[in-house]
Structure 1
Amino acid sequence: MNYAQLLIPDFSLILCGYLICRYTALNRSVWQPVESLVYYLLFPVLLFQSIVKSPVDIGAASGLIAAGLTMGITGIALAYSLPHWPWLGQHIDARDHAASARVAFRFNSFIGLAIAERLAGAEGLLMIAVLIGVCVPLFNVAAVWPMARHGQHSFARELVRNPLIVATVSGLVANLLGFQIPEWASPTVGRISAASLALGLMAAGAGLQFGLLSRGKALSVAVLSIRHLVQPLLAFAMARLFGLNAVQTTMLLAFSALPTASTCYVLAARMGYNGPYVAGLVTLSTLLGMVSLPFALGFLR
């Protein structure tokens, strides 16, 4: 299977979002509400529907969950240890590292959910939903921990209010209780879910910003290498270690090679760090995803 060709429609939507935002009257003032709509309503509906309509076998998914958590914890440890590496630590600015470390392990759920169905249908959506459900709390804690350490923010409140976590947990509970979406509501829910994928990808493109990438080159290379090279290699090793099946392996590899979360620069700016620098990393990570996803899904798999 030609994974690069398979992913072209998704990255074409990202490019469309970028071009529309930059060169038409539909600028950031239009796309910011769209991002909120996708994040707080459309994607939660997609996640809930994906989990509820397919039976969840916790025992069968335990290997995938363990692999995802192990991969995530390793990525977090590598990202925060960068200042302590020989030679590299001498070339890293402490504030830039605090702002950009999360780029190495966070992921763009917009792109992940969009490609999951294309790669493995409903089962792929279910697997990526499970990974999101277990990894988002871990990654959010790791991302806001420096801020909480300085007494500026409460990550517990961030986790409880995260719509993707709420949708995933409620979907799992409903699935285990045997709840099914009523037949009369299924067409509406399905259309909302379908709309979320296209709008989510275009919103990801509209959020791209080329920031101050000329500074902190060593840090930039290290962070992006963890995100787009080390994480896929870790996913490959974890899939072998935990004996994942074909679909689980595919989704873990796709999950490992996703571009970083577009909200990384928002969090950096909120913390008072260099937002434009992180925005540049997010943009470059999105572009690198066009290479890392085919690498993970084609070469490694």
Structure 2
Amino acid sequence: MSTALLLLPDFLLIVCGFCLCRWTALNRPVWEAAEQLVYYLLFPVLLFNSVMRSPLQPTQTLSLTLGGVALLACGIALAFAVKLWPGVDARLHASGAQVAFRFNSFIALALAERLGGPTGVAWMALLLAIGVPICNVAAVWPLARHGGHSYAREIIRNPLIVATLLGLAANLAGVTFPEAVGTTLQRIGVAALPVGLLAVGAGLKLGGLKASPMLTTAFIGIRHAILPLVGIGLALLFALSPEQRLILVLFASMPTASSAYVLAARMGGDGAFVAGLVSLSILLGMVTIPWWIAVLGWVT
């Protein structure tokens, strides 16, 4: 089965979420509640359980971690450099720059599980735990002039980071749960991926892009063309195993985070522009993710 067909069920869930939100009684308020459930309960349980049960091999994960950090640093630098272009609207840049380097955790975990199994989820969880605080700080920085924001509180209270760190602690401490508890945690985690992907589809909104076609092209180009190529280069540079190369390139190919819209709207940015960028990024990801995984196979 080709990679595109392997990923098709997950992308079909996104399409289903879009259709359910637009043409059934399961409208936007329903999916806003679903997003909260996934973000604060289902995904944290999935991350905790995956990391706790995965064998830790620091010597093998260090290179993967360094590759992830280098990838994000490249994306952030490129996104901020766009502001130096002549004629760039400062408010639109501050709002949309985050789209170039942030990533959709829902899709990342779903595809890591499908392509890499439990070990792939654990590796992706580590990249998310490192990437979320880095990206949050970088995303808030250009918007800071529009309002105050506490970096430390945002990072400490992020449920994905907390769950991953707790999973690491439990793993190192050798914690085990009774069978009933372990089964319950596993079933909660299984629910995270389909519900999360449905919620992603429900949030698609292709409006506001006409505000700046130039910035749209720049941010989407960084997210879907430059960073995946950088990811392949870093995977080869750090001599990652084939399995970790796949996870790093998958991480590099992700659509941007759906929460980018929320951050822009809450901090006085152009929410409509960012909503359009997020939706376009997710739609492009359905095509570009299989493509970049195929490219990885060709070059390795």
Q: Calculate the TM-score normalised by the size of structure 1.
A: 0.96
Q: CA deviation at 1:91?
A: 3.7
Mapping for residues 1-301 of structure 1, pairs under 5 Å: 2-84=2-84, 89-148=85-144, 152-301=148-297
**Over aligned residues, Cα RMSD in angstroms?**
1.1
Shift of 1:15: 0.4
Tell me the matched-pair count.
Answer: 297
- 1:141-165 Cα distance to aligned partner (Å, 9 max, x none): 1111234466511111111110000
SS in 1 for 2:272: helix
Superposition deviation, residue 23 in structure 1: 0.8
> Does the 8 A contact of 2:45 with 2:189 survive in 1?
yes
| SS state at 2:210 partner | coil
Write the distance in 2 (CA, Å) between the matches of 1:221 and 1:92.
13
Bigger Cα displacement from structure 2, 147-156 vs 273-282: 147-156
Does structure 1 retain, via aligned residues, the 8 Å contact 2:20–2:26? yes
The CA deviation string for residues 197-221 of structure 1, in whole angstroms up to 9 with x for no partner, is: 1000000001111111112101100
Which ranges in structure 2 are unaligned for 5 or more consecutive residues? none
Q: Distance in 2 between matches of 1:172 and 1:281?
A: 34
Deviation readout 1:194-253 (Å, 9 max, x if unpaired): 111100000000111111111210110000010001110110010011110011000001
CA drift of 1:167 comes to 0.4
Which segment drifts farther, 7-16 or 135-144?
135-144
**Which one-letter code corresponds to 2:239 in the other structure?**
G
Give me the whole-angstrom Cα distance separating, in 1, the residues matched to 2:177 and 2:123: 19
Structure-1 separation of matches of 2:19 and 2:54: 37
Partners in 2 of 1:94 and 1:147 — Cα distance?
10
- Kept in 1, the 8 Å contact 2:63–2:238? The answer is yes
